[in-house]
Amino acid sequence: MSLRGSLYCGISGLNAQMSAMSVIGNNLANTNTYGFKSQRADFEDIFYSTISTANGVSQIGHGASVAAIMTDFKQGPYETTNTATNVAIGGRGYFQVRDQNYPDKYYYTRAGNFVFNNDGVLVDSSGKIVQGWKSADGSTGGKADVVGSPVDIKLDRFQSPPQATSKVSFALNLNAKAEDKSSDSANPFFAMFSQWNGQNDPPMPDTKYSFSTTIKVYDENGGAHDLTVHFDKVGNPVASGAGGKTMWEYTVTVPPSEDGRTINGTKINKTSAAGMLMAGTMTFGVGGKLEGMTAFTLSSTATGNLRGLNNWTPATFSANGYPQLTANFLGASNASIPTSGKANPIELDFGIRNKSSSGTGWTAGAGTTAASLGNTTAGLFNFNDPEYSSSAVTSHESSSSRHSAQQDGYASGFLQNVSINSDGVITGHYSNGQVLDLYVLTLAKFSSRDGLRREGSNLFSETRESGSALTGIANTGGLGKIHSNAVEQSNVDSGRQMVKLITTQRAFQANSKVITTSDSMLSEVIALKR
């Protein structure tokens, strides 16, 4: 090998070390870059020449070159943030983002410092649009329930539509020692009912009932209405006739002016029956347990005095086995009773329902109207096949009080904030208390991460060597789980890089010495002619 050859060996070493220094410099420059994965330069020796020696054939090398720039894909540490849309992946997955200018151009990143822009689009720091699946309509609870293919994540549910109340339930105690405030020897089960007059203010004096409770219910437009249930104990003579059992009368009412029902062309809110939606009784046995219940609503064929008991018939049953009522708050035509098909029926749950969903559910009594009831329980309609819940209304010897009251309606609401769970479900929280799942983040993995192409801006793109992206949902297929309010930091180890910086510098100096020494030797050869 000639002296000129040793010069080129030194040059190859310089070039290799300069490439390694560039890699180290890039690593150190990205020490604080979110999601950055450090690299290293792997060297290889170049081809060899064969020469003859005293011991036979030997080889002399011709320097070094960079064989590959390898990436370290180990997990970077987390940095917590106050932004819910900042997310990090604990696993092998990548977020999928799309170039706004090229609809079919997708990139992949570990940097989850995402924010919503002024168009409501979730984007990364370079403006690429984050991809996700739309959640199934109405899905709640943060479950990864998706439909279709991944799409741009864009907020389009800034409002939560209202939902009309379809069920009200109560858990309360009625004092078994209470005295009846209303009495009627002819119609003891409707003594309190007879005190109601929707044309008066108030419709019922507070001296005519023992206890009442009110809950807000909502119409189809999200309007709120007070629904009040009044209770009064049925007189002792009737209780004695009931075999010593305790009986209570109840009525379900709304403000008369908000009662939109129409019967045979007559607007209810113009009559004394305005606001009275349901009336009935509850029977309590030993230990104050609710054993039976009746419920009556105004007949769709009612005539004359609408408060006349002959116009009140056993309530219809919902498919869930609960008696149902309606106020028709919005005054829809032909929507006076739940069976009309246009009304918005409300189930009444006192902790008892009929197992049958056939809609017939009442045991036959002495007649088919409230007027058929005498002063004993013989004529009472009752549940045909009752089933009780653990939160039923009770009648113990303690003060009357409400334990809980629930209803399933709500007004419209506006989006207040979003959250992201470990499955990548983006959930909207609305001012009306509703929580709706909006999107699920798309994660991707590759057969060979080393085959990914770096694009800058914390982005990778797929290549033939990496294989196509395999997309899925967090916590499935080894993609990893999502951490909200956090971003993944660079995995650059600054201490290790500084050591490499020193060794690379020394290697560069050594190779430069090869060149200067070879040059000195060449000078000596040239000087031989003197």
- Residue-range domain boundaries for the chain: 3-71+493-529, 78-160+414-488, 167-407
- Greatest C-alpha distance within the chain: 147
Q: Which of 128, 143, 35, 152 is nearest to 88 (CA)?
A: 35
| pLDDT score of 97 | 97
Q: Which of 444, 422, 419 is nearest to 131 (CA)?
A: 444
Alpha-carbon dihedral of residues 212, 213, 216, 220, nearest 10 degrees?
-60
3-state secondary structure of 190: helix
Residue written as token pair 């200018």: 101
Return the percent helix, strand and coil in the chain, to nearest 5.
Answer: 20, 35, 45
3-state secondary structure of 140: coil
Strand 346-349 relative to strand 167-173: parallel, antiparallel, unpaired?
parallel
Burial of 367 (0-12, 13-18, 19+ CB in 10 A): middle
Q: Which of 281, 220, 208, 217 is nearest to 255 (CA)?
A: 217
| pLDDT score of 374 | 61
In order, the DSSP letters of 391-404 are T--B--SS--EEEE
Based on its alpha-carbon atoms, the radius of gyration of the chain, rounded to whole angstroms, reads 40
| Distance (Å, whole) CA 296 – CA 240 | 23
Q: Which of 486, 489, 488, 481 is nearest to 440 (CA)?
A: 481
Q: What is the pLDDT along the chain (530 residues), one digit of tens a residue?
A: 566 767 778 788 888 889 989 999 999 999 999 999 999 998 888 877 777 777 777 777 777 888 888 999 999 999 999 999 999 999 999 999 999 888 889 999 999 999 999 999 999 999 999 999 998 766 666 676 778 899 999 998 888 889 999 999 999 999 999 999 998 888 888 999 999 999 999 999 999 999 999 999 999 999 999 999 999 998 865 554 456 678 899 999 999 999 988 887 788 888 999 999 999 999 888 888 888 888 999 888 888 888 888 889 888 888 888 999 988 888 876 555 545 455 688 999 999 988 865 556 676 554 567 777 666 665 667 777 888 887 789 999 999 999 999 999 999 999 999 999 999 999 999 998 888 899 999 999 999 999 999 999 999 999 999 999 999 999 998 999 999 999 999 999 999 999 999 998 898 888 888 888 887 888 877 788 66
Q: Compute CA distances 301 → 9, 181, 297, 330, 499, whole Å.
A: 108, 32, 12, 21, 94
| pLDDT score of 366 | 47
The amino acid at 357: S
Count, residues in the chain: 530
Beta-sheet strands, E only, within 122-223: 122-123, 129-135, 146-152, 159-160, 167-173, 211-218
3-state secondary structure of 53: strand
Instruction: Count Cβ atoms below 10 Å from residue 201 Cβ, excluding itself.
Output: 7
Q: What are the backbone angles phi and psi of residue 308, rounded to the nearest 5°?
A: -65, 130
Q: Which of 213, 205, 209, 212 is nearest to 180 (CA)?
A: 209
